[in-house]
Structure formats: C-alpha cells, structure tokens
Structure 1
Amino acid sequence: MRLSTAILSVLIFSLLNACSTAPTSHGEVKGASASSREMGQSDTNRMATLAMRDNLESLYLLMDKLYRRNPAEWKKSGATREEVVKRVREAVEKRQTWADLQGKHDIAAMSLALSPDFKADRVAAFIYATADMIITAHGGKIEFFLIDGLDAQYLYNAARNIEIAVWMLTNRRNTAGQPLLLSDEINATERNLSFEREFGKIVGRLDLLAEFITEKYRRAGISYVQNLLGGSFLQFLPVR
C-alpha cells in the first residue's frame, strides 16, 4: 500500500512539473528604438505618436484581413493585392488623395466608401478613408511635437465614427442585398470576431488619448495649486 502511494505521489509530482515547464510565452512588450526626434516631444506627444502608429497598423492589418475575405475587391484595381496594400499605405502616410473617393476626405470619404452603390475597391477606399479621418482628428498629423496640440473632442468623435463604421459594415447591404464587406462571422461551426477585436483596439486607443488630453489640462491646474501650497506650507524648517 505504501509503495502504491509513493508511486502515485511520484506520478503526480512529474505531471505537475511537466505542466510548470510547458511553454506559456505569449510575446513581450516591445518599445520603439530611441530617436533624436524624441527630444522635441513631450510625454503627451510621444503617447499620441505611438497611438497613431498602432492605429494605422491596426487598419493595415484589417485591410489584409478584409482582402482575404473579399478577394474580389482588390481585383477591381487590376493590380496584385500586395501592390494595392502598398498604394494605400503610401496614400495614407503621404497624405495623398485616393482617386476612387473623388477627392473626398475624412467623414465624407467614409460615407462614400460605405455607400451601397459604391462600385470601386471598397476595402481600399474604406481603409484609406478611415485612416484619413483619424489623422484629421489629430490635426492632420501622424507624428507630434511640442508645438502641436490635440483636441480631445475630435479624438472622442473619431472613436465614435469607428463604431458607426463597424455597425454599417455589419448591418448595411449593397444594391444586390449582400453585406458591404464580409468580416466577422458566427455560425454553427465557426466563431470569428477578430475584426471586431481589432476595431475595438482602435476605439480604445482613441478614447484613452482623448481622456488623457482632457486630464492633462486638469492636472496642470492641480499641480499649479500644489506648487503654491508647497511653497508656503510644505517646506522643511531649519534645525540649526
């Protein structure tokens, strides 16, 4: 009996040890490389720059995922998928117009890209228009320095625009009665909500930055009062 108990204990210990050594890594946080340009950035500028970078990367990821679910869209351009993706990135980051959007920008471009009768590449138009709207909400800039200011309400509005766009993609139909673009899917055998999660990341970053901008000015007033009080009441007294 004692032998059986000892063997059982050894087996349990081995199993627990195997579980503890199983790979559990899910990646690690990575910071950007230091740059001399950061000397001209406040903490707020840096946070806004990183948030913008991540939001654009999320849109490019969504573009790739949308093209995989809607391959007929990129084929409308007569180019390869990789070429279209590259063109969209360049147009966004160089602040160029997108021909299929008829010179429209930000919310006007989003409205056109999500209209039921839009015939051109809807994925490229939608991603370009959404990126343009976000950049417009940031004062038309992608990178931010000490001379730049941000309007918290515009950032908040941009987050709501993303939510509206996601609702349109889910519920609006084209002239043939089909979804504007295939994205998330829930059925008896599959549950794919990766599009919603990625859009949610963009909304979260925009909302956090909007709140942070608002908090910054409130905290500046509090810090000013604290400094006044500190000057009068919170100084150490001489002891010799």
Structure 2
Amino acid sequence: MPVLGLSRRGSWVSGLLLFSVLALSGCSTRQDHQSIISNQSPIKPSEFFQSHADRMATLGMRNNLNSLYRLMDKLYLRNPREWRKTGLADVQTAKRAVHRAIEQDQPLPQLGGRTDIAALSYALSAEYQGDRVGAFIYALASMLITAHGGRTEYYMSDTLDPQFIHNAARNIEKASWMLAQRTDAGGTPWLLSNEISAEGRNLSYAVEFGKIVARLDLLTDVLDERYRRMGVSYAQGLLFMNFLPVQ
C-alpha cells in the first residue's frame, strides 16, 4: 500500500510539473499595446506562474515603455520636423510605426537593422540623418528589453540579471544627458527637450527619465536581494544543520 501511495504521489507531482511546463510554454513573452499605453494590466491566469519579483519586473517594464511613449509624444510635439522625415502621412502614423517596432521586435528600417545599444549610439550620432525622435525612443526601448532578457513579461522560468538591468539604468542616464547636450555644427540642439529660459521652465523630460531610472534601480535591488536571500537561506541551513523538508 505505501508503495502504491508513493507511486501515485510521484505521478501526481509529475503531472503537476508537466502542467506547469506546458502552462509556462504558453505564457506570452510580450505585453500588448493596450496594456502599455493604459498603464493597466487585466488579471490573467498566467500570473499564477509569476513570483513577486517577476510581477514587479513586468509592471516595471510596462511603466517604462509607457514613459518612453510619453517622451516620444512630447519630443514629436517640440520637434515636428522629425516625424516628417519618415514620409508617413501624419504624426500618429509615425508613432504607431515605432510602437509596432518595439512591441513586435521589428527593427526600424532607418536604423539599418541595429538594435539596443548599437541603435542608441547610431541614433545619437552626427551620421544619423533620419527621424531622430523615433530612432531614439525605439533604441531606448530595445536596450531596456534586451537588458531584461528580450521579453516584456516575466515568469518563474525566466532569469533576470540584475547587472544588466543596472547597466540599462546607467545607459538611460547617459542618453538623457546626451539628448540635452548634443547639437549640430551651428550649436542648435538635435532635439528640443528640457528648457530653462526667460520664456519658462520645462524639465518634464528629465522627470520622465528619472522615473525610468528609479524603477530600474529598484528592480536591481529587489533581484539582488532575492538571490542574496537564497544564498543566505542555504548558508543558514548548513550553519544550523537544518535538514530540508521532504513533504
């Protein structure tokens, strides 16, 4: 009887593991456009397979992409000449093209296939002559997604490297500074953004970048602590000679 019970328990556990693997394989890797722009995510069954850190990373990515989209809106508003370089009918069509490229992992044609930091370096170079707003926002989003393992939704089967996410935060800081400092040969900024002048003050761009950096740094700390606690728990078990539970 005990042997039969053990066999049944093993079958039950195997079935649960198989169900988990199949369920995780069916989980999406990308958040949908509506969730990103509304900053709200409907409750989904797949959340069962997310740890607290996974959920935090998913919400952080959603909010960071939303911040980048707001920055794109503001940059196009102050720099309308940029979207006109695309040859598209209007600014809304230009924005949708960038959204699609980010959310469906489709590199922007004008970047020549470049993604993440290669695209960011090119978009902020003197050699680039295309729509600098779209290229800049796409490159930042691509860099963030690459740092998070190429996904925008995360589950227990995923591994996030806190060092890469920390590096992404520093890249955002550098890109924000470059946006404010880079000018053409005549001293005119490539893109108008923050402004402190007699006409008024507008630091909303810096504020939005600051939000992204803060979210990334918080996630870095959470991931570091999660992995540290796993090590501490294991060390405590050795120190106090605690056996691990078997049922």
If the TM-score is normalised by the length of the shorter chain, which range does it land in?
A: 0.7 to 0.9
**For 1:111 and 1:35, how far apart are their aligned partners in 2?**
37
Aligned to 2:46: 37
What is residue 61 of structure 1 aligned with on the other side?
A: 70
Is 2:142 the counterpart of 1:132?
yes
CA contact under 8 A between 1:163 and 1:203: conserved in structure 2?
Answer: yes
1:90 aligns with 2:87: no
Q: Is the 8 A contact 1:113 1:129 kept in 2?
A: yes
Q: 2:214 aligns with which of 196, 201, 204?
A: 204
Give the aligned residue type for 2:124.
Answer: L
Which secondary structure state, in structure 1, belongs to the residue aligned with residue 74 of structure 2?
helix
| TM-score, normalised by the number of residues in structure 2 | 0.77
In the aligned structure 1, how far is the partner of 2:177 from the partner of 2:132?
16
Does the Cα contact within 8 Å between 1:76 and 1:121 map onto a contact in 2?
yes
Give the drift of 1:223.
Answer: 3.5
The reply on whether 1:123 has 2:133 as its aligned counterpart is yes
- The whole-number CA distance in structure 2 between the counterparts of 1:118 and 1:164 is 18
Shift of 1:228: 7.1
Residues 1-53 of structure 1, C-alpha deviation per residue, up to 9 Å, x if partnerless?
xxxxxxxxxxxxxxxxxxxxxxxxxxxxx864321010111111111000000
Ranges in structure 1 where 5+ consecutive residues have no aligned partner: 1-29, 233-240
Provide, for residues 98-135 of structure 1, a one-character-per-residue CA deviation record: whole Å limited to 9, x for no partner: 10101111111001101123211000000001100000
Q: Secondary structure at 2:167's aligned position in 1?
A: helix
| Cα separation, 2, equivalents of 1:47 and 1:228 | 31
**Matched AA of 1:55:** N
Aligned ranges 1:79-228 → 2 under 5 Å: 79=88, 80-224=90-234
Partner letter of residue 123 of structure 2? Answer: A
Structure-1 residue corresponding to 2:61: 52
| Counterpart amino acid of residue 193 in structure 2 | S
Q: Across the two proteins, how many residue pairs are aligned to each other?
A: 203
Identity value in percent: 53
SS of residue in 1 equivalent to 2:140: helix
Matched, 1:70 2:84: no
Paired residue for 1:11?
none
- Aligned-partner residue type, residue 71 of structure 1: P
| Structure 2 residue identity aligned to 1:133 | M
TM (norm. structure 1) is 0.80
Give the CA deviation at 1:63.
Answer: 0.2
What is the DSSP-based 3-state SS (H/G/I as helix, E as strand, rest coil) of the residue aligned with 1:116?
coil
Q: Distance in 2 between matches of 1:172 and 1:35?
A: 44
Equivalent-residue separation in structure 2 for 1:188 and 1:227 (angstroms): 64
What is the CA-CA distance between 1:227 and the residue it aligns to? 6.3
- CA-atom RMSD, angstroms? 1.8
